[in-house]
Structure 1
Amino acid sequence: MEAHLVIIRDLLCFLVVGLLMIWGWRVLNWAWLTPKRLERCLRQQGLRGNPYRSVSGDIKQLFGMSRQTRAKPMAPCDDIEPYVTPFFHQFLDKYGKDSFVWMGPRPAVTIMDPDKIREIFTKFTDFQKVRNNPLLSLLVSGLVNLEGDHWSKHRKIINPAFHQDKLKNMLPAFYQSCSDMISKWEKIVSTEGCTEIDAWPYLVTMTRDVISRAAFGSSFEEGRRIFELLDEQINLMIKAVQSVYIPGWRFLPTKTNRKLKMNYNDIKESLREMIKRREKAIKEGEESNEDLLDILVESNIREIEANADRKNMGMSIEDVIEECKLFYFAGQETTSVLLVWTMVLLARYPDWQTKARDEVLQMFGDNKPDADGLSRLKVVTMILHEVLRLYPPAVAVSRSIPKEIKLGKLLLLLPAGIEVSVPIMQIHHDKELWGDDAHEFKPERFTEGVSKATKSQVTFIPFGWGPRICIGQNFAMMEAKMAMSMILKRFWFELSPSYAHSPYSFVTLRPQHGAQIILHQLGSN
């Protein structure tokens, strides 16, 4: 009996030692051997970067420099690239465009050549979404994170919701939300003829109201809880991505992990009830609300019915929930930052504000802005494009390389396991691509459209490019045109002396200290 116990003990010890050795080898491979192998491969091809020293890579320096830089506002100018992305600015100065940075133990090759960018966005099956931190899926998932057949299926079902004719039906929602904001401004201004406001929180509320009405047929008040939970998720996620994600960390019951999962479940349940009510109404033949959720649910039902004999067609309710979260998050975030920087820039460049106002008044007079008129606003469109160039909502995008691939005419060999980083901020401010006036606000560069301004190169990518270009870009542009048209008709505005210019990247490019604007009612002094 004792001999048997000894054998069992020895076997258990052997098993434990074996598991520890396997685990230790995997950790060593993840933390040191694989990064060093990838580094050798990249350096042999002439790419330069910091030497790999630890699993944190360049992340601490990257976020540390950003925090240090934004501790003080910058001068009110549009050469914001060194301020917003100081690490990449200094890194590219030191190593050049053919370089790589360490995003933890994985190198990310910087890609700024337009032809290579075109290839990356076109070959989206070879260059896939980066999933370094699984916790990010608790913030937003859906179409933006899907690959392969799943992406194709979802895109097909969602596309009808963003057709131009469907967007026209949402103009009343855009108009009502903008009117509510402008009414608040008029009440504030009416007593003195002019007053200072922080435009940023008003624009955030307005764009949230728009997405609640246009996507879900409800007011902002009804969607307030979902937005508050998403805001909290964003703050928690920022903390998470500022450190290296250790595999398996999301399963530990840390305070942050528990809160992330609690918020995630609360958001899901709120949306689940909303979707179920809408599915029931549609199946019972009730009149459509013509909002994004109705169109999405109807499209999904048609897809399932048309392929009743095939498995896994259409989207599950979990899929629809994730797409609704994406509507909520992306539908509000991009437009609010586009509008706030447009107001800041037009306040700084009154000549362009006047040109835009003249065009709006000539197009609409005292009438409500309509879809046809909004589509023909040339000056306003030029201004919005230039704002998106100088102040892109996302400062960079990254793609992972699941298998070895060659990129570009010179056949840059990218081994499996690395990332490619497309630094949108640097590309949009690159003098080699845009000319010596790249840092200046010049909407006239878009007089003949984006294609002419970019010389048909892939150098203007505020919404991405190629087959996976942001599905909601027309929604965002129409909403922005509506809002600016209504604002320009009622007010002229200038920057307040209290305004502190501090654009910073917090998911999107936001004004850190708000946007203090002095509003004047048209016709007042």
Structure 2
Amino acid sequence: METVTASSILISVVCIFVVTGFIKAVNWVWLRPKRIEKWFRQQGLTGTSYQFLVGDMKDYSSMRTRALENPINGFSNDYSSRVDPLGHHHAGKFGKDYFVWAGPMPMVSISKPELIREAFTNMQEFQKAKFNPVMDKLFPGLVRYEGEKWAKHRKIINPVFHVEKLKLMLPAFRDSCSEMINKWDMVVAETGSGEVDAWLSLTKLTADVISRAAFGSSYEKGQRIFELLKEQTDLSLVMLQSLYIPGQSYLPTPRNRRFRKLEDQINDLLCSLINKRKEEIEAGEAVKSDLLGILMDSNLKEIQQAVGNNKNKHLGMSLQEVIEECKLFYLAGQETTSILLVWTMILLSKHQDWQARAREEVLQTFGNNVPDFEGLNHLKTVTTILYEVLRLYPPIIQLSRMNKQKDTNLGALSIPSGTMITFPMYSVYRDIEIWGDDAQEFKPERFSEGISKATKGNNAFFPFGWGPRICIGERFAMTEAKMALSMILQRFSFELSPSYVHAPMSVIFLQPQHGAKIILHRF
């Protein structure tokens, strides 16, 4: 009798778990999405009807594949149908703000600048979106932290990008630019002109800059780290394009095994460098003026302060956290600057008048001397050009946030918890109500009186984000870009090669799909 009773209880418990799990699954894949869809429509927000389990992902995948098959005819700054065909289609059908579905997860697209600023400022309610663990590996460190941990890391990292520290990194910028320009000189040596793929060159340049700036005299090891990170990034992008199934990263697939092996190799190299620096600091040696040295010094001071105040919970970064911040230096710093520079060269190739104006300013400021920090800060024409490039070809065409904890209001819109909110920078930067009828045109003069004037007081320009989480490396990236562009303009004039194919492609960052073939002329 007791055995029967125990068996009955066990069966009942199992049935309860099964039924509960089934109800939760049905709610997740069908009932909740349909309720949210109805709620959005009642608020006057339009969008797509939810399709069981897949949402709009099937349409997104097929439309993107077709869009990337053909480049843009001629040369046009209107490329939304290529980089975001689904968003382009929905914006034309539903207007600036609408909702779609990433599987059962709702996604609301918001283009109103005031709502973007509100979401970026309210970082407690609207946090960084996390929908695939691969992204946490691809972009570790500060960008994925929230709350107290984010505040602690931000405080420790701030000194790394202080203007006085940045000045000490100019030799790294100069040496890397000189190496690239010397290689380009060899290309034009015989006839005074020659063709290069600027995308490949500039990717190598910015990787070299980060290696030197991050690790100083150990930058050769930094270059090896970058090579491994590049392979890991390429592998991550392949993994991100497949449907994510919770727990799949733990399966012993060839991709997962290779990913983990790369991660172990990167961690070992970084751990070796960090431990060596730690030993040098403990031995009383002067702190090196590279990113790693400044970061470790700032971290040590944070730990000492916490110990002195008996606040152990506020101790600085662990070894693994320092490693993750070093990875972030590479992935964020290298990609964004190389993309800014390549689109700048492409647009200045198309607009020779602005190339001439930029060169004139550079030569008036520096002559043939190596650019200095003060001079770089006073390059007005070059700055307006870089801003206009960031507007027309933003490194990241879409930013996102998520309200994870509870239902939240954004403006007059009530947004259910678990909703991803996307901000299509491409659309915001093409809005004729903000930028005028010439919003698709390359006109750097729009920034001649500052960002506020360019946006008619709308504050609708977010090249490095907005609010508390604004990119900490903004000054670093802009200084590097100005240095590289100035040194190029001092030595060369350039134009697009007849073989250049205009094909912007967004794979996390906005890249030229078929490279950037440029013809250099010795200046």
* Alignment pair present for 1:357 and 2:356: no
Asked if the contact 1:56–1:243 (Cα under 8 Å) also holds between the matched residues in 2, the reply is no
Please give the per-residue CA displacement for 1:108-145, whole angstroms capped at 9, x wherever unaligned. Answer: 11111111111111111110001111222122211101
5 Å matches for 1:109-148?
A: 109-148=108-147
Q: Return 5+ residue gaps in structure 2 as ranges.
A: none
Q: 1-side partners of 2:59 and 2:237: how far apart?
A: 16
> Deviation at 1:237?
2.5
5 Å matches for 1:173-322?
A: 173-218=172-217, 221-308=220-307, 309-312=310-313, 313-322=315-324
> Deviation at 1:12?
4.7
Number of aligned positions between the proteins: 518
TM-score (norm 1): 0.95
Distance 1:102 1:321, change over 3 A: same
CA RMSD of aligned residues (A): 1.6
> Deviation at 1:311?
1.3
Q: 2-side partners of 1:240 and 1:455: how far apart?
A: 42
Tell me what 1:390 maps to: 392
Q: 2-side partners of 1:428 and 1:37: how far apart?
A: 33
Please give the per-residue CA displacement for 1:300-337, whole angstroms capped at 9, x wherever unaligned. Answer: 10011011011122111111111111001111010000
Counterpart amino acid of residue 391 in structure 2: R
Distance 1:126 1:500, change over 3 A: same
> Deviation at 1:22?
2.9
Counterpart amino acid of residue 21 in structure 1: V
> Deviation at 1:19?
3.1
Please give the per-residue CA displacement for 1:323-361, whole angstroms capped at 9, x wherever unaligned. Answer: 111001111010000000000011111110000000000
> Deviation at 1:397?
0.9
Q: 1-side partners of 2:208 and 2:359: how far apart?
A: 25
Asked if the contact 1:79–1:440 (Cα under 8 Å) also holds between the matched residues in 2, the reply is no
SS in 2 for 1:217: helix
Asked if the contact 1:128–1:400 (Cα under 8 Å) also holds between the matched residues in 2, the reply is yes
Please give the per-residue CA displacement for 1:340-393, whole angstroms capped at 9, x wherever unaligned. Answer: 000001111111000000000000002110000000000000000000000000
Please give the per-residue CA displacement for 1:74-131, whole angstroms capped at 9, x wherever unaligned. Answer: 1212112222212111111001123111122111111111111111111111100011
Distance 1:54 1:262, change over 3 A: farther
Tell me what 1:49 maps to: 47
Tell me what 1:26 maps to: 24
Counterpart amino acid of residue 73 in structure 1: P
SS in 2 for 1:22: helix
> Deviation at 1:242?
2.9
Q: 2-side partners of 1:489 and 1:350: how far apart?
A: 15
> Deviation at 1:203?
0.6
Asked if the contact 1:58–1:101 (Cα under 8 Å) also holds between the matched residues in 2, the reply is yes
Counterpart amino acid of residue 510 in structure 1: Q
Counterpart amino acid of residue 327 in structure 2: K
Q: Return 5+ residue gaps in structure 1 as ranges.
A: none
State the percentage of identical aligned residues: 53
Q: 1-side partners of 2:276 and 2:32: how far apart?
A: 50
SS in 1 for 2:312: coil
Q: 2-side partners of 1:220 and 1:519: how far apart?
A: 29
Asked if the contact 1:138–1:261 (Cα under 8 Å) also holds between the matched residues in 2, the reply is no
Distance 1:249 1:458, change over 3 A: farther
SS in 2 for 1:88: helix
Asked if the contact 1:60–1:242 (Cα under 8 Å) also holds between the matched residues in 2, the reply is no
Candidates 401, 404, 407, aligned match of 2:407: 404
Q: 2-side partners of 1:478 and 1:491: how far apart?
A: 20
Q: 1-side partners of 2:347 and 2:61: how far apart?
A: 27
Tell me what 1:71 maps to: 69
Q: 2-side partners of 1:502 and 1:417: how far apart?
A: 34
Tell me what 2:379 maps to: 377
TM-score (norm 2): 0.96
